[in-house]
Amino acid sequence: MSSSGRLVLGVVIIVAVLAGVYALLQSPETANGPAAPVAQEPVTIGFIGPLTGDAAAIGQNAKAAVELAVEEVNKAGGVAGRTLNVIYEDGQCTGKVASNAANKLINADNVPVILGGLCSGETASFAGAAEQAKRVVLSYCSSAPSITQAGDYIFRDYPSDLFQGAFGAKYVYEKLGKKKVAIVYVKSDWGSGIRQVFADEFKKLGGAIVAEEGYEQVARDLRTQLTKVKAAKPDLVYFLGYTEGSIVGVKQAAELKLGVPLFGADGWDDPKIWSGAGAAGEGAMYTVVSAPLSDAFKAALKAKVGSDEVGLCSAQAYDGLKLLAQVMAKAGTDGTAIKDELYKTEYAGGVSAAKIAFDANGDPVEANYAVKAVKDGKAVEQK
């Protein structure tokens, strides 16, 4: 081939290459009309709660409420147009299991937020790791007073037992007129924390704590503790327990013929306790956070779980998810940005409270309580 032929061939090749590069770089809008929107990565957060073991009924109901909230958020456009996903982990209402679950969510799944835990011991077990990793924690049910000081990234939309313990003490002393109380409590962050608040407030009011008996969360025989309580001759027993231990304890209190009222806290807001305790639970009373549940929420949750029961903290779990979606739509998915925005956010129109706002410790700024009494195997709010 002559030099002129080679020159022409070279020019042709260069033109062809440039044409190919141009075609590759050409925008879809120019080549094929309007471009399809580029898919964005989903926003993924974590959830921790007792899905098996003690308190599983409460945890499963809360999980269903979160699933409902996720469906509604995504139907409305997700988080700034991105689909919201949740990774659900079982904390079993124990610190070790919840800590392992949180480590997975933080280090393997790299979530910016954990919605949980449910039990105070769950949340306390991983709060330090989350704080160090700058991952936001929003507990929907942990009420132990110690959570208040857990860290700058640790929030809860469920009130501290500083409120509940004081409310319960005042109700027992003033409304029920009981002056001598014995306390039976589960040795957990929740049980020990509320026990102390109740006892301190009850004594301030002029009452006497005649006995205090603790038991391990796994205990299923409370006769020793209850026998000591009976010997102290209280006017009322303040009983703090989770589901399985409470069923046993309420039954054994009846067997031992304590003959005095039983009064508990929000851990008793599980229908399984009263169906399991049967006639032994008749007349028992307990405090619980008062929530303005909407008919729409109750109907939607019933359709999902097949029951009229709205479990303890399910409303807070639902609102917590909605609140986080709102905050991340504005702040993005950086943990520090989410944290900063949470402190400034006021969430209104929820089903767990008329307004959710946080103080400087990440606690709700207000709390409202009601009292329920067990009648014919069901807990009914007292007016």
Mean pLDDT of 244-264: 97
Amino acid (1-letter code) at residue 292: P
Is a pLDDT exceeding 70 seen at residue 81? yes
Is a pLDDT exceeding 60 seen at residue 4? no
Is a pLDDT exceeding 60 seen at residue 7? no
| Closest to 183 (Cα-Cα) out of 156, 172, 140, 14 | 172
Q: Give the angle subtended at the CA of 299 by the CAs of 295 and 300, to the nearest 5°.
A: 120
Residue 19 lies in a domain: no
Query: Contact, 342 vs 327, CB < 8 A?
Result: yes
Q: Residue 21's pLDDT is what?
A: 37
- Minimum mean pLDDT range among 16-20, 57-61, 358-362: 16-20
Q: Is 182 in the same domain as 216?
A: yes
Interaxial angle between packed helices 243-255 and 56-75, expressed in degrees from 0 to 180 and rounded to the nearest 10:
140
Q: Is 254 in the same domain as 375?
A: yes
Residue 214 lies in a domain: yes
Mean pLDDT of 210-232: 97
- Per-residue pLDDT reduced to its tens digit, 125-148: 999 999 999 999 999 999 999 999
Is a pLDDT exceeding 70 seen at residue 37? no
pTM, full prediction: 0.83
Give the residue numbers spanning the domain of 51: 43-159+292-301+311-367
Mean pLDDT of 308-329: 96
Q: Is 267 in the same domain as 350?
A: no
Is a pLDDT exceeding 50 seen at residue 325? yes
Structural domain tally of the chain? Answer: 2
Residue 109 lies in a domain: yes
Mean pLDDT of 83-94: 98
Structural tokens at position 209:
């704590």
What contacts 383, CB < 8 A, 6 or more positions away? none
What contacts 76, CB < 8 A, 6 or more positions away? none
Residue 168 lies in a domain: yes
Q: Residue 374's pLDDT is what?
A: 98
Q: Is 111 in the same domain as 223?
A: no
Binned at pLDDT 50, 70 and 90, residue 383 comes out as: confident
Chain CA centroid to CA 207, Å: 33
Q: Is 173 in the same domain as 283?
A: yes
- At residue 50, the 3 state secondary structure works out as coil
Residue 27 lies in a domain: no
CA distances for 344 relative to 78, 236, 316, 337, 358, angstroms: 22, 43, 19, 11, 8
Structural tokens at position 69:
């909230």
Q: Residue 39's pLDDT is what?
A: 52
Q: Is 283 in the same domain as 296?
A: no
Q: Residue 241's pLDDT is what?
A: 97
Q: Residue 27's pLDDT is what?
A: 38
- Per-residue pLDDT reduced to its tens digit, 166-187: 999 999 999 999 999 999 999 9
| Closest to 94 (Cα-Cα) out of 135, 131, 52 | 52
Please report which residue ranges of 106-160 form alpha helices under DSSP H: 120-133
Q: How far apart are CA 287 and CA 264, in angstroms?
A: 7
Q: Is 244 in the same domain as 320?
A: no
Binned at pLDDT 50, 70 and 90, residue 54 comes out as: confident
Q: How far apart are CA 327 and CA 321, in angstroms?
A: 10
Tell how strand 369-375 and strand 285-289 pair up: antiparallel
Reported as type and span, the H/E element at residue 6 is helix 3-25
Q: Residue 332's pLDDT is what?
A: 97
Q: Is 73 in the same domain as 136?
A: yes
Q: Residue 151's pLDDT is what?
A: 97
Residue 5 lies in a domain: no
Residue 2 lies in a domain: no
Tell me the CATH number at 167.
3.40.50.2300
Q: Residue 40's pLDDT is what?
A: 83
Q: Residue 181's pLDDT is what?
A: 98
Q: Residue 129's pLDDT is what?
A: 98
Q: Is 338 in the same domain as 296?
A: yes
**What number of CA atoms fall less than 13 Å from residue 230's CA on the CB side?**
14
Tell me the β-bridge partners of 88: 47
Q: Is 145 in the same domain as 171?
A: no
> For tokens 């359709």, what's the residue?
303
Q: Is 241 in the same domain as 376?
A: yes
Q: How far apart are CA 107 and CA 82, in angstroms?
A: 22
Q: Kindly state the percentage of the chain with pLDDT values over 90.
A: 87
Q: Residue 317's pLDDT is what?
A: 98
Residue 216 lies in a domain: yes
Q: Is 280 in the same domain as 187?
A: yes
Is a pLDDT exceeding 90 seen at residue 18? no
Reported as type and span, the H/E element at residue 204 is helix 189-205
Tell me the β-bridge partners of 281: none
| 244 burial via Cβ count (<10 Å: 0-12, 13-18, 19+) | buried
